[in-house]
Every structure is written in structure tokens, then in C-alpha cells.
Amino acid sequence: MIVVMQPQATEAQIQQIVERLEGLGFNVHRTTGVEQSILACVGRMIDFDLREIEVLPGVAEARRISSPYKLAGRSFRPQNTEVRAGAMGVGGRELAVIAGPCSVESLHQLSEIAESVAAAGARGLRGGAFKPRTSPYSFQGLGQEGLRILRHVCDRFGLVAVSEVMSETQIPMMLDTVDILQVGARNMQNYNLLRELGKVRRPILLKRGIAATIEELLLSAEYIMAGGNYDVILCERGIRTFENYTRNTLDLSAVPVVHKLSHLPIVADPSHGTGRRDQVPAMARAAVACGADGLLIEVHSDPDHALSDGAQSLDLPQFAHLMDELRQIAPVVDRQVTAATPAVPAHQA
Ligand code: PEP
Ligand code: MN
């Protein structure tokens, strides 16, 4: 931590701060400049509250120089982490594309979507079974039946199953059915849930909260990792700003920032990030160009009749077209997109 003293701070005030910092366990190195004194403090625990110092007389500002997250930080692992789930790697050379409807609606609906997105090159199929809807009167998901459908369809088409876990009580049934557990934006700071997910050995897709800073996102990842589960995939899904043309503001600058601060992979969700189907392809292309390790894209066979998030869902041809575009962009940023294949269910191949 660096403590910058005010230009008018008295010698007595500076001495008081030095003693206070030493009392807190810091080693204090003082530099006296022409205008101000600067105190460089080393050697204390990382969760220190800067405001405890900032409010003391004579202090201009206190600034942290080491990160408050340890396991999620780059210094813990200088090389990138690749999280693996079945045939999909997130954080490696191959772009991880996870597609699917916002909600699992029926076996027929999910099968139709899965067949098409698998053929277009997606590796993961995401479908919500428990939906965190803003209104309690909106469709809440098929629950356990939705999970069963998701598992069945993923096995049939060789896809990695991704679904949202909304509470600790759902974890056992999730472990029985899905390959990656999603923590939604609304639960990013549900610390009891994060702690429980630290105990499982299954990848977690952690979405950024609508008003969360990048540091808060990384601290939430830290909660999971502190329990021993290091397989955390971060997701930028848009934050709430004053702009209301789009549903959220997709903060793509979070991608290079996270890559600088952390070894964890980060994917982008341009569907929730924009809330509009007409804006999704452009932001998906931009996400790949800025180095996202993967994409989470809502795709529906009949978006206009989807039970949730239809307006932001691509239809099947739109998704296939986007994948073709991504195949051209990916090599420029040293990435590769899975080849499109004729639609053949895995069990017939
Ligand atoms: C979703 O993924 O369908 C969802 C509800 O996302 P978020 O938690 O980012 O709002
Ligand atoms: Mn959705």
C-alpha cells in the first residue's frame, strides 16, 4: 500500500500515521518529496480496508498496489488457465462457443436447437432449467425436468451441458446432470452459494453482476477458488449504465483487463450484453477480436415464440452465419473455431 500525505501535513501527523501503520503490522518506508511525504507500506494481509487510513488527519490518499485476490490473480499462475469440460476447453487455442436457448422449453425444442448449433461448431449447449426472472409471474423454467432434457440432448449430440444453479439446494441435482454450473449475474455475490461451489469439482461459469466491478468479479471467483475449485470461467454479460437503447452495456474492455489481472479464462455473452438480436453478431465478432476465450450466445429455433429472452436470441441460420464469420476472425487473434459439420447425432456417427 502507498499512503500519500497532504502537502500541509505536519511532522507530528506523519509520525502518527507511521506509528499507526507499524502497529497494523506494516513495514513503512518514508520518502520525503519537495511537496509531500509518501509512505510505502509492505507486508500486511491483503484484505486491509484502505479507508481506515484515508480518514486519518494529514492523509491525502491511500492506494493498494497488490491485488486483494490471491488465487485468481496472475501472480498466482503466470500462464493462462484452460478449464476443461468434456471435449471443450475454455482458455486454450480453440474458441469455446456455448449456445442454446435461454430456457429449456421441451425435448423437441432443445433437440432442434442442439442439432443445428452442434453442426455449426458449438461445443457447449446451454439451457436454463431454473430461471432467475425479474418478475415472479414470468416463466420460471422447467426445473428438474429441464435438466433431464438438457442431459439427454447433450448426450445425443455430443455437447457439453451448461445450466444455471440458483441455490445451494440445487447443487446435487446439477452435479447429476450438467458439466458446467452457471452462476447468474444476480447471484455473483451470493457468497454462501459461491462457497458451496468451491467444494465441488466441476467447472463454474461465473457471470459478472449488473453493477459489479471487475475487482468484485475476481473476488467472487476467489470465493470459489478458496474452497479448492480452481475451474472458474468468468463471463462478461454487460453491466447497467445510463444507456438504455441496449438492455445492458457489454463492457468488452473487461476482457483484456481480466487477461491482465487474472489467469482465468473469460467468455463474453453478447446476448444479455445487448438484449437485441440485431446487435448480437457485431458484439460477438468484437468479443473474439478483443481476445475473449469463448462466447455464450442465446439461440432459438423460433425466437419470436421463445418463453424467455426471444428478442436477444439468434435463429438457427443467424447463428450458423455468425460462426462462419468467427472462423475468419479467429485466426487473426491466434484462435481457432471448431469446424462446421453435417448435422449427425453423436450416437449415429
Ligand atoms: C441467462 O444466462 O439466461 C441469464 C439469466 O443471465 P444473467 O444471469 O447474465 O442475467
Ligand atoms: Mn437469458
User: Is the CB–ligand 1 distance for residue 272 below 6 Å?
Assistant: yes
3-state secondary structure of 227: coil
In a domain, 310, yes or no: yes
pLDDT tens digit sequence for 285-306:
999 999 999 999 999 999 999 9
Q: Which atom of ligand 1 has the smallest separation from the CA of 185?
A: 8
Q: Which of 335, 265, 268, 263 has its CA nearest to residue 297?
A: 268
pLDDT band at 329 (very low <50, low <70, confident <90, very high): very high
Distance CA 262, CA 75 (A): 8
Distance CA 332, CA 330 (A): 5
Residues 153 and 51 in one domain: no
pLDDT tens digit sequence for 217-240:
999 999 999 999 999 999 999 999
Residues 140 and 19 in one domain: no
Cite the beta strand spans of 173-302 per DSSP E: 180-183, 204-207, 232-236, 266-268, 294-298
Q: Name the β-bridge partners of 207.
A: 235
How many angstroms separate the alpha carbon of residue 208 from the centre of ligand 1? 10
Can you give the residue range of the structural domain that contains 181?
Answer: 83-348
Instruction: State mean pLDDT over 53-76.
Output: 90
pLDDT at 347 (0 to 100): 60
pLDDT at 197 (0 to 100): 98
In a domain, 153, yes or no: yes
In a domain, 186, yes or no: yes
How many angstroms separate the alpha carbon of residue 329 from the centre of ligand 1? 26
> What is the tally of structural domains in the chain?
2
In a domain, 77, yes or no: no
pLDDT tens digit sequence for 167-201:
999 999 999 999 999 999 999 999 999 999 999 99
Cite the beta strand spans of the chain per DSSP E: 2-5, 27-32, 37-42, 59-63, 83-85, 88-90, 96-100, 124-126, 160-164, 180-183, 204-207, 232-236, 266-268, 294-298
Sequence-distant (≥ 6) Cβ neighbours of residue 65 within 8 angstroms: 1, 2
Whether 343 shows a pLDDT value over 60: the answer reads no
Strand 37-42 to 2-5 pairing: antiparallel
pLDDT at 200 (0 to 100): 98
In a domain, 74, yes or no: no
Please answer whether residues 344 and 157 qualify as being in contact, where contact means their C-beta atoms are separated by less than 8 angstroms.
no
pLDDT tens digit sequence for 11-45:
999 999 999 999 888 888 888 888 899 998 887 66
Residues 157 and 276 in one domain: yes
pTM above 0.75, yes or no: yes
pLDDT at 67 (0 to 100): 82
In a domain, 130, yes or no: yes
Residues 275 and 187 in one domain: yes
Residues 282 and 329 in one domain: yes
Instruction: State mean pLDDT over 81-108.
Output: 98
Residues 6 and 133 in one domain: no
In a domain, 171, yes or no: yes
Q: Which of 246, 272, 280 to mutate to test the pocket of ligand 1 (most atoms within 8 A of CB)?
A: 272
Could you tell me the three cell numbers for 270? 453478447
CA dist list (Å): 331 to 174, 328, 338: 35, 7, 12
Please answer whether residues 274 and 241 qualify as being in contact, where contact means their C-beta atoms are separated by less than 8 angstroms.
no
pLDDT at 86 (0 to 100): 94
In a domain, 76, yes or no: no
Share of the chain above pLDDT 90, in %: 86
Distance CA 306, CA 113 (A): 12
Instruction: State mean pLDDT over 44-68.
Output: 86
pLDDT at 270 (0 to 100): 98
Residues 18 and 131 in one domain: no
Strand 59-63 to 2-5 pairing: antiparallel
Query: Given the C-alpha cell 486519518, which residue does it identify?
Result: 56
State the CATH number of the domain containing residue 30: 3.30.70.1140
Whether 324 shows a pLDDT value over 70: the answer reads yes
pLDDT at 348 (0 to 100): 57
Query: What does the DSSP assignment read for 94-118?
Result: B-EEEEE-SB---HHHHHHHHHHHH
pLDDT tens digit sequence for 249-258:
999 999 999 9
In terms of C-beta density within 10 A (0-12 exposed, 13-18 middle, 19 or more buried), how is residue 49 classed?
Answer: exposed
How many angstroms separate the alpha carbon of residue 12 from the centre of ligand 1? 54
Nearest 5 degrees, angle CA 45-CA 47-CA 48?
Answer: 80
pLDDT at 311 (0 to 100): 98
Residues 36 and 112 in one domain: no
Residues 94 and 32 in one domain: no
State the CATH number of the domain containing residue 339: 3.20.20.70
Nearest CA to ligand 1 atom 9: 185
